[in-house]
Structure formats: structure tokens, C-alpha cells
Amino acid sequence: MTLADYSMTAFALLNGGRAVAYFPQLILVYRDQHGATSVSLVTWTLFAAANAATVCYALAVSDDRIMAIVFSLNAIGCLAIVGLTAFKRIYSERRGAMLWHWIESLRQSQNLVESDVSAEVRSPYCGQDASPRAWHRDDMIRHGLMT
């Protein structure tokens, strides 16, 4: 084998391995619960663009289909990481918005409970049942809707 043959074999094996190496990154992005904030979309998009440019070069200038196939796989891997990361970030933002809404709802409930507790302190019942239900019952009795 010549040096060119060894070079082509090394190229095919290493870049084929690189195409397989995208899977662990995809799994980590998929499992990330915080929107994959440590993954740079700009970097992976640039990698995808560089691989696509190499595919164009391999087909247009070198007429090398093996190189084009290998770099196409790499471009697809990069784009898969970009797509999954973008999806996770959008999903994480929506989930965060829902979580924020839930927290606000809990705060409003807490404020209502605190206002009920402070109302009990001011209650004219002094030790009697001063719950909102009792107030409602007493109000209905005063209006003649209940006996």
C-alpha cells in the first residue's frame, strides 16, 4: 500500500468514528433537564456548515465520493445535535414558564391563607368558628337564605 492508501484508510476510519461519536453527545443532550445550556449552538452549526462545505468541495473539485459521504454523515450528526439542542431549549423554556405559573399560583394561595389568618385575628367571634365557611353561613342566615 502507498502513503495515499494509508492516508485514505486513516481518513475513512477516523472520520467514520467521528460520525459514530455524535451519538454519546446526542444522548447527553437528550437526558439534560436544563435545556442543554452547555452545548453551543453556534459551534455545532459552524461544524455542520464546515462539513457541508467539505462535501461540496469533495464533489465539485476532488470528485471524491467517499470523502463526500463521510463528511455528509458528519454534517448530519452536527445538525442532529443542533436540532435536538434547540428542541430541548424550547421545551425547557415552556416548562420553566409553566413552573413559574405554578409558583405564582402557590404564592397567591399563600397570600389568601395569610389574609384568612389575619382576618381570624380581627374576627368578632373571639374564639368561635371564624373560618370563611362560617362567615358565609352567618351571612346567609342574616339575609334570611338559611335558618
Angstrom distance (rounded) from CA 95 to CA 89: 10
The CA-atom distances, in angstroms, between 103 and each of 13, 99, 100, 108 are 52, 6, 5, 9
Burial class (CB in 10 A: 0-12, 13-18, 19+), 32: middle
Average pLDDT of the segment spanning 84-91: 91
pLDDT in tens, 13-70: 898 888 889 999 999 999 988 888 889 999 999 999 999 999 999 999 999 898 899 8
Between 42 and 97, name the one with better pLDDT: 42
Question: 1-95: which CATH number, 3.40.50, 1.10.3470, 1.20.1280, 2.30.29?
Answer: 1.20.1280
pLDDT at 119: 56
When pLDDT is cut at 50, 70 and 90, the band that residue 99 belongs to is low
The CA-atom distances, in angstroms, between 13 and each of 9, 17, 63 are 6, 6, 20
